[in-house]
Structure 1
Amino acid sequence: MSAPILVTGGTGTLGSHVVPLLRAAGRDVRVLSRHPRESRNGIEYVAGDLLDGEGIDRAVAGVSTLLHLAGGPKGDDVATRNLVRAAAGAEVRHLVYISVIGADTVPLGYFRAKLGAERAVAGSGLPWTVLRAAQFHDLVLTVAEKMAKLPVVPVPGGLRFQPVDSREVAARLVDLALGRPVGRVADLAGPQVYGMGELVGSYLQARGKRRPMMPVRMPGKAGRAYRAGVNLSLAGADIGSRSWEEFLAERLAPDRQIRPADRLATCDS
Structure 2
Amino acid sequence: MSKILITGGTGNLGKALVKILDKNNISYTIASRKNKSGASNVAVMDLVHNKGIEKAVADKDIIFHLATDMKKDTEATRNLLQAMQPEANVHLVYISIVGIDEVPFAYYQQKLASEEEIKRSGIPYTILRATQFHEFIDDIFSKLLKYPIGLLPKKIIAQPIQIEKVAEELYQLSLKQPENKTDEIGGSEAYTFEEMAKEWMLQKRKKRLVINLPIFGALGRAFHGGKLTTEHKQKDGLTWKKWLESDKRK
TM more than 0.5: yes
Match of 2:75 among 78, 96, 104: 78
Aligned equivalent of 2:139: 142
- What aligned pairs does 1:93-112 form with structure 2 within 5 A after superposition? 93-112=90-109
Identify the structure with bigger relative contact order (alpha carbons < 8 Å, sequence gap 6+): 2
Q: Structure 1 vs Structure 2: percent identity of aligned residues?
A: 32
Aligned equivalent of 1:29: 28
Distance 1:221 1:109 in 2: 13
Q: Does 2:122 align with 1:125?
A: yes
Contact 1:103–1:115 (Cα < 8 Å) also in 2? yes
Aligned equivalent of 1:239: 234
Aligned equivalent of 1:4: 3
Q: State the one-letter code of the partner of 1:24.
A: K
- Cα displacement (A) at 1:185: 4.0
- Deviation track 1:175-217 (CA, whole Å, cap 9, x = no partner) reads 1112211232431100111111222221211121111111232
Q: State the one-letter code of the partner of 1:17.
A: A
Q: State the one-letter code of the partner of 1:183.
A: N
Aligned equivalent of 2:43: 46
Q: State the one-letter code of the partner of 2:7.
A: T
Please give the root-mean-square deviation of Cα atoms over the aligned residues, in Å. 1.9
Runs of 5+ consecutive residues of structure 1 not aligned to the other structure: 255-269
Runs of 5+ consecutive residues of structure 2 not aligned to the other structure: none
Q: State the one-letter code of the partner of 1:158.
A: K
Aligned equivalent of 1:206: 203
Contact 2:86–2:123 (Cα < 8 Å) also in 1? no
- What aligned pairs does 1:176-255 form with structure 2 within 5 A after superposition? 176-233=173-230, 235=231, 237-240=232-235, 241-252=237-248
Match of 1:197, SS state, is helix
- Cα displacement (A) at 1:151: 2.6
Match of 1:173 among 170, 173, 179: 170
- Cα displacement (A) at 1:37: 4.1
Alignment CA distance shift 1:88-1:103 (3 Å): farther
Match of 1:221, SS state, is helix
Aligned equivalent of 2:14: 15
Distance 1:253 1:127 in 2: 39
